[in-house]
């Protein structure tokens, strides 16, 4: 996915952009095309809606919409029933467009990591962690009386997120310390349902979940596959089931090794997370930890789905 970095007065903002050829850019060579884009930038609309607002003939608007759609600047969002038939509702595909003239020299000193920043967009705001990291308590706790040992593997996760922060302060809680008000925040949850009671609490809301009645095996609602190995973990990023305007990131396995595999998959292959299971609310992946150098330590993962 191409991005554009806008730097002004020492501040940076990153936006998705559509890279176009100069010939394709001709779709915007009229004043009416620009006016149509301004209208679609306000909200998705059909040709009739735009024609009425701009006081132009509907067929004229259709002509420019077809050109803009062919160029990729706009896209068909949906078809909506109107009196007399179906109306095509269009939306702008990207807020920014870039015209590539030729392959130029890249900027060597790149300060940004657009894909990583986009992934953690809900969790990092203005250089601060906008949410809470929850790890399992090391004491016997919860209905399973388990002791969590996943906290140590969260260090790699903390180092990754910390690279986007300007101000670091206590941003984590043990699962036994989480209050009802905390559930309304963006949450990054580490550990399995036995060791982290918060995972157990939201387990039935996850698209890839743990079968608590069958040895905590991992079950995928996408493929119906069941994973029983300790080295298997899940990476789920979705809307918070306790607060739909917030997000959760779940890094979990039935055992310590599965949770470690999930965190390693995120840290090492974050750019590949979008390639697998997707649903309306986010992404869900299953990873299998591998010991490449046979030293007894998981150092790599493969994606099972």
Whether residues 123 and 161 share a domain: the answer is yes
Separation CA 194–CA 228 (nearest Å): 15
Whether residues 145 and 51 share a domain: the answer is no
Whether residues 205 and 237 share a domain: the answer is yes
pLDDT score at 10: 60
pLDDT tens per residue across span 104-162: 766 555 555 777 888 898 998 888 899 999 999 999 999 999 999 888 888 888 888 88
Whether residues 40 and 152 share a domain: the answer is no
Strand 217-220, strand 243-253: pairing: unpaired
Average pLDDT over residues 224-228: 96
Whether residues 74 and 138 share a domain: the answer is no
pLDDT score at 23: 82
pLDDT score at 1: 65
Q: Is 262 exposed, middle or buried (0-12, 13-18, 19+ CB in 10 A)?
A: buried
Separation CA 302–CA 287 (nearest Å): 6
Counts of helices then strands in the chain (DSSP H, E): 7, 18
pLDDT score at 107: 57
Structure tokens at 157: 């996760």
Whether residues 91 and 138 share a domain: the answer is no
Whether residues 81 and 154 share a domain: the answer is no
| Domain-located, residue 105 | no
Indicate yes or no: pTM above 0.85: no
| Angle made by CA atoms 177, 219, 245, in degrees to the nearest 5 | 50
- Split into its structural domains, the chain has a count of 2
Would you state the torsion angle of the CA atoms of residues 12, 14, 20, 21, taken in this order, to the nearest 10 degrees? 30
Strand positions, DSSP E, 63-179: 74-82, 85-92, 96-99, 124-125, 128-129, 132-135, 172-174
pLDDT score at 185: 95
pLDDT score at 256: 93
| Domain-located, residue 104 | no
Q: Any idea what the CATH number is for the domain that residue 92 is in?
A: 1.10.10.10
Whether residues 62 and 198 share a domain: the answer is no
| Domain-located, residue 109 | no
Domain that holds residue 187: 114-303
Whether residues 46 and 150 share a domain: the answer is no
């Amino acid at each position: 996915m191409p991005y554009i970095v806008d730097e002004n007065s020492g501040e940076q903002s990153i936006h998705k952009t559509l890279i176009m050829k100069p010939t394709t850019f001709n779709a915007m060579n009229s004043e009416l095309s620009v006016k149509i884009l301004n209208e679609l930038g306000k909200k998705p609309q059909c040709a009739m809606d735009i024609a009425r607002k701009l006081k132009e003939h509907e067929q004229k608007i259709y002509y420019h919409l077809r050109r803009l759609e062919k160029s990729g600047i706009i896209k068909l969002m949906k078809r909506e029933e109107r009196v007399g038939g179906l109306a095509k509702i269009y939306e702008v595909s990207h807020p920014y467009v870039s015209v590539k003239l030729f392959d130029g020299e890249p900027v060597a000193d790149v300060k940004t990591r657009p894909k990583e920043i986009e992934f953690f967009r809900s969790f990092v705001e203005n250089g601060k962690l906008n949410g809470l990291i929850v790890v399992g308590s090391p004491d016997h706790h919860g209905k399973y009386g388990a002791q969590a040992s996943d906290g140590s593997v969260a260090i790699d996760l903390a180092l990754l997120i910390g690279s986007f922060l300007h101000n670091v302060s206590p941003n984590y809680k043990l699962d036994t310390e989480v209050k009802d008000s905390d559930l309304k925040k963006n949450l990054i949850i580490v550990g399995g349902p036995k060791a982290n009671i918060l995972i157990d609490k939201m387990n039935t809301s996850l698209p890839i979940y743990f079968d608590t009645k069958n040895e905590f095996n991992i079950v995928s609602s996408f493929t119906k596959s069941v994973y029983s190995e300790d080295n298997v973990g899940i990476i789920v990023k979705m809307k918070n089931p306790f607060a739909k305007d917030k997000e959760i990131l779940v890094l979990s396995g039935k055992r310590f090794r599965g949770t470690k595999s999930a965190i390693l998959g995120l840290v090492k292959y974050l750019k590949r997370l979008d390639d697998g299971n997707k649903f309306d609310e986010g992404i869900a992946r299953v990873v299998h930890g591998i010991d490449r150098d046979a030293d007894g330590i998981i150092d790599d993962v493969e994606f099972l789905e």
